[in-house]
Structure 1
Amino acid sequence: MLQKLLLPVIVFIIVLIGLTFGEGVFTALAQWLSQITGIVIYNFQDLYWTISLYVSRHPVKIVVAIVITAIVCIWIYKNKGEEMNNQANSRKIGIFLAIFLGWLGAHRFYAGHIGMGLLYLLLSFIWLPLSVFLGLIDAVRYIFMNDEEFKANIKA
């Protein structure tokens, strides 16, 4: 269930980044990451203001991204629904999430380890380099697991 809910979120983020690519999103992301890589973040107000500023400046892009996300997800569920339940594809998705969103604990949420996912999320706000490193370690673990071990690792 969580796997099917995570797909639209990932597609939305990819589409939104694609829509804003030409406007220096990577520069803004680098600046934002440099701000939060301090030892301790005192509150989440900066994150809230950054997101609200983006939403107020780009409402059309967000609506377009939501529409594209809905179309892509409906197409994927309709045409590739059975393949998503395949063990090999499940492991590949876990590896992809651990590499690209492991610092947020997305791979742990995908595997059903909600507590560890929340720990990764909290750790990313306290000290980002450590959570990135731990996400990459999990990616390497998933790469060297076989499909049966990965399936046993996922909580239903």
Structure 2
Amino acid sequence: MNKPHLHALRKHEILRKKQLISLLFSSGIGVRGDFLKMVYADLRQESRSFPGIPAILFAVSKKTVPSAVRRNRIKRMMREAYRIERSSVIRSSSDEQDGAEAKRLCIVFLFTGRKKTLPELQAFREEIRRLMQGMRLS
């Protein structure tokens, strides 16, 4: 049987519910970087969700990047950068939730860059690392 990849992004880690997404945008904390914006919040955990594992969403506006090919490329690069850099977030969120009521960290990464050239994967990694280290979980 195949062993799961260390940095794989599982299906249960993707934020999909419209209610949670709208609640996250209305009550979440936003942090702006050079070309990414991160919105995050601790939201009430559902009965079937996985504790200690953040729910994640990647978004690129059609207005910001009109080409679907480029939007998909940017989302792939954001996912890859997050996969590599997420181990620090999972550890810190699970350490802080030991005695707290059941909540789940939800994160949205929005691409806000307006330059014609796309940043490299290393730039995405550094930006995501910097944004995630600046999170203040309460």
The TM-score, its normalising length taken from structure 2, stands at 0.28
The TM-score, its normalising length taken from structure 1, stands at 0.26
Larger fraction in helix = 1
Larger fraction in strand = 2
Structure with max Cα Rg: 1
